[in-house]
Structures are given as structure tokens and as C-alpha cells.
């Protein structure tokens, strides 16, 4: 089956005031939908047409040359956004607070403290010139922070994305993610976003990636 747009796990207005309903409506319904549509178009007639999108971006090097660019951008966009929606929850109702489970202590061990982690992660997001993502990845041994351009994902590998590992937290820093509410103030968007991070989901991804 071709890729489809996942339903948001909450109402479009559920992340307000940190992320406004209009941004969610356009970001999910228009931008993410366009990645889905264009990924399907690029993969039509190939052996990846019915594949798991995560497997598609892991195998990007095997995609024919004439399709690799559109697949990188659009299957990448589909995977990144599908992950992103589930990594958020309404503030105070699953979103925000401090990480617990296994990932909380792992963050403290890797970065010194939760605040030090947040500072370093925010710097990765604000420091990404143009469009891209900030990531927290588990490399099998420890947690690392990195950022990628455009719709690249660490699962594409270091040679393509510039960083690697299993992403367990990702932040969209494209202007389309924040411009309506925050205009050019990306640091304010990131500061607000911490209030809606779904740490249970981060912990779930950490454990799936082999973290303890």
C-alpha cells in the first residue's frame, strides 16, 4: 500500500498556546500531505512502492539515481513528520515536564543535566542554517545530539545525513513549523516546544532502539 497521511493523535488546537492550530492544520494537512503524495509519485512502479517508509530511507543508496533526490526529500519528510506528531502531546496532559523511565537518567548521564541537554539541543536547532531538524539519537551505546538539513534523517546514515543513529527525539526547525506564530523567532518556538514534548514516547523509542 502506498504511504498515507497519519491522523494526528490530538486535535489541531491541542498544543496551543505553544503551537497554534493554524500552523498544525497547514503543517500536517498541507506540508506533510505533500511529502506523502510526492513520495508515492517518486516510488510508483518501483519495488519500494509498498515498503515501510523507514526501510525506504534506510536503503536510500539503493534507490535509482533519477528517483533518489525526490525520495530523500519526500519519504524523508514523511518519516520525519510521522515521528514528530507522536513526539508531542498537550502541555500538562502528556506533554512537557521532565523525562523519566530509562531515557531520563541516560540524558543526565550523557549531558550532565536535563537543563544542559535542553541548551545543547536548542543550540542544534537554532544553529541549523535554513531548513532542517535537530535530533537526539541513540547510537547503541550513548545518546548524542545532531542536526540534519532539509528532510534528512539520521537513519539515512552519516554519508547522506551527516549524522547517524536511532532518532528518539526530533524537532522540525523549518520556518513552516513556527512562522505564523513566532515569525523569525526560532529560539522562542523551541523554548515553547519543550512544553509539548511527549517524554513517554521518547522513552519508548529509546527502549526500542536498545536503550536501558
Which residues bind to Mn ion, rule: CB under 5 A? 172, 174, 177
By beta-carbon proximity to Mn ion, the closer residue of 164 and 172 is: 172
Residues 139 and 165 sit within 8 Å (Cβ to Cβ): yes
Edge-to-edge order in the sheet of strand 143-149: 143-149, 132-138, 166-172
User: Which one, 30 or 142, has the nearer CB to Mn ion?
Assistant: 30
Q: Using CA atoms, how far apart are residues 6 and 33, in angstroms rounded to an integer? A: 9
Complex with Mn ion: residue 13 or 131, whichever CB lies closer: 131
Nearer to Mn ion, 48 or 174 (CB): 174
- Nearest to Mn ion by Cβ — which residue? 172
Query: Collapsing DSSP states into helix, strand and coil, what is residue 170?
Result: strand
Beta carbon of residue 197, minimum distance to Mn ion (angstroms, whole number): 16
* Comparison of 172 and 203: residue with beta carbon closer to Mn ion: 172
User: In the complex, what is the shortest distance from the CB of residue 201 to Mn ion, in angstroms, rounded to a whole number?
Assistant: 18
> CA 31: distance to chain centroid?
14
Q: What gap in Å lies between CA 119 and CA 104, rounded to an integer?
A: 16
Alpha-carbon distance of 29 to 23, in angstroms, equals 10
128 in helix, strand or coil? coil
Locate 5 and state its grid cell: 497521511
Amino acid at each position: 500500500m502506498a504511504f498515507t497521511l497519519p491522523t494526528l493523535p490530538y486535535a489541531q488546537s491541542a498544543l496551543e498556546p505553544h503551537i497554534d492550530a493554524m500552523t498544525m492544520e497547514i503543517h500536517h494537512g498541507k506540508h506533510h500531505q505533500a511529502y506523502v503524495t510526492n513520495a508515492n509519485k517518486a516510488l510508483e512502479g518501483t519495488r519500494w512502492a509498498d515498503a515501510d517508509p523507514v526501510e525506504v530511507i534506510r536503503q536510500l543508496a539503493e534507490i535509482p539515481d533519477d528517483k533518489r533526490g525526490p525520495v530523500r526529500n519526500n519519504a524523508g519528510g514523511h518519516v520525519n513528520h510521522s515521528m514528530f506528531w507522536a513526539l508531542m502531546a498537550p502541555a500538562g496532559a502528556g506533554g512537557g515536564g521532565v523525562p523519566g523511565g530509562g531515557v531520563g537518567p541516560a540524558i543526565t548521564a550523557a549531558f550532565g543535566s536535563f537543563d544542559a541537554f535542553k541548551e545543547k539541543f536548542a543550540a542544534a536547532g537554532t544553529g541549523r542554517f535554513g531548513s532542517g531538524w535537530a535530533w537526539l539519537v541513540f547510537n547503541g551505546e550513548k545518546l548524542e545530539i545532531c542536526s540534519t538539513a532539509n528532510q534528512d534523517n539520521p537513519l539515512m546514515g552519516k554519508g547522506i545525513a551527516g549524522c547517524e543513529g536511532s532518532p528518539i527525539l526530533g524537532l522540525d526547525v523549518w520556518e513552516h513549523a513556527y512562522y505564523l506564530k513566532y515569525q523569525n523567532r526560532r529560539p522562542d518556538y523551541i523554548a515553547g516546544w519543550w512544553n509539548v514534548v511527549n517524554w513517554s514516547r521518547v522513552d519508548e523509542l529509546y527502549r526500542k532502539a536498545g536503550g536501558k
